[in-house]
Amino acid sequence: MKYISTRGQTARKPFSEVLLMGLAPDGGLMLPESYPEIGPAILHEWRELSYPDLAFAIMSLFATDIPLDDLRDIIDRSYNAQVFGSDDITPVRTLQDGIHIQALSNGPTLAFKDIAMQFLGNAFEYVLAKEGKSLNILGATSGDTGSAAEYALRGKAGVNVFMMSPEGKMSAFQRAQMYSLQDENIHNIAIEGMFDDCQDIVKALQNDARFKEEYRISTVNSINWGRVLAQIVYYFYGYFRATTSNEQKVSFCVPSGNFGNVCAGHIARQMGLPIHRLMVATNENDVLDQFFKTGEYRPRNAAHTYVTSSPSMDISKASNFERFVFDLVDRDAAEVEVLWTEVAAGKGFDLNFMLDTIQNKYGFVSGKSLHEDRLNTIRQVYQQEGELLDPHTADGVKVARELREAGETIICLETALPAKFAETISEAVGEVAIPRPAKLAGLEDLPQRVVVMPANAEGVKDFIRDALKS
């Protein structure tokens, strides 16, 4: 299988090259030339597979340049009980009102990003060793991507990580997870601004062809195709766990900021997974909610992005959204180029004439959840179920309940564990014991290592240059 850019000006590439690339040279995002078609017979074969076996079945359709035995080894090292706490990897449970919760948060950093990052870390190491190369990862995080990437790549041969996060905008737990790492190949940069400022710097350096080539810059943000590929797997796995036959349909409700998670669901649906609807749940930063309701996409700048109690969704420019729009406009790269030129100019675009296609052909609906909504949802679930939800998952449950049709089976993706957001949990339910893995006890008390910098791409370049000299 070969990959193409959403901007249409990049030569077809194999998986291993795309894995190391990040943003395409033409500024676009890489996607398969076509999606594999999964019919009823294959769905039947896959239904009883373990998570690693299912991952292998799906990923082998996309990573066709990696020998099957090698791919199998990468997957087996990525998805096992030692890393994720059980053989189920992403178990599904059910609330009393019938909404299913798929736990994506049992990895090393207690967030769904671990699912993709564990694979990405092992795949990076494999490809780099095979090609005798090194790589410098530049990333932006609103809380979870950074820690998941750092834990997956710490100590990996041939890889350095430079991770930017918005200064003071994450929870104390999230900051401690990242900044307490002392590995020599891990570099944390706190940017004075919002997540979107960090993401803009990533794109600026990715678009600087000379710098990118000289310093072998790649990314682990969801603009990296390898991230999206790994996330496709759990949509199939969740579907099989929430249904008894392939004649049934389910809907997925996905807390969304950068659109990477739900983009994987879109691709799973295009492959043939029986998904009825994809529910996009936003917080106060509701740019995506507005698009799926009106067809207008109006990204906001950092000054107009809210700091909320579900901080990993405090994003107003959804990088992965371009992949969906590419499919929406029938893969017309020239049209995508025009639309994103408008985005770059701060104008956005209006596709209201395509709302029927967006909602009916592609199955997208949306809703938003505010601070009081997530507190009420956390409180209600705790009082009724005796379990705690993290704020982002609470946003998803709120929207799922709001949009649910009669008889609709909904799987809400649990994107983190509540231990990462103790302040909000306490505000919702009072002082209660919030479970946390023993290995993370006293995390916030560990020494932290981070450099605070202005939101300036040239300054980040200088930092990378200096770090790689030493």
Q: Do 115 and 230 form a contact (C-beta atoms < 8 A)?
A: yes
Using the 8-state DSSP alphabet, how is residue 69 labeled?
H
Q: Are strands 250-255 and 275-282 parallel, antiparallel or unpaired?
A: parallel
What three-state secondary structure class fits 27?
A: coil
Residues 39, 68, 105, 265, Cα dihedral to 10°: -30
State the Rg of the chain over Cα: 21
**Identity of the amino acid at 35:** Y
Angle at 106 between CA 391 and CA 417, to 5 degrees: 15
Q: How far apart are CA 396 and CA 254, in angstroms?
A: 6
Q: How far apart are CA 26 and CA 209, in angstroms?
A: 10
Q: What are the catalytic residues? A: 113
The DSSP annotation for 122-157 comes to HHHHHHHHHHT--EEEEEE-SSHHHHHHHHHHTT-T
Counts of helices then strands in the chain (DSSP H, E): 20, 15
Number of neighbouring beta carbons within 10 Å of residue 173: 23
CA distances from 150 to 113, 188, 205, 241, 448 (A): 11, 9, 20, 30, 14
Q: Among candidates 271, 205, 252, 202, which has minimal Cα distance to 396?
A: 252
The DSSP annotation for 33-74 comes to SSPPP--HHHHHHHTT--HHHHHHHHHHHH-TTS-HHHHHHH
CA dihedral over 227, 233, 236, 237, signed as positive or negative: negative
Q: What are phi and psi of 307, to 5 degrees?
A: -90, 120
Using CB atoms within 10 Å of the CB of residue 4, give its burial: 0 to 12 exposed, 13 to 18 middle, 19+ buried: buried
Element (H, E) at 249: none
Q: Do 438 and 170 form a contact (C-beta atoms < 8 A)?
A: no
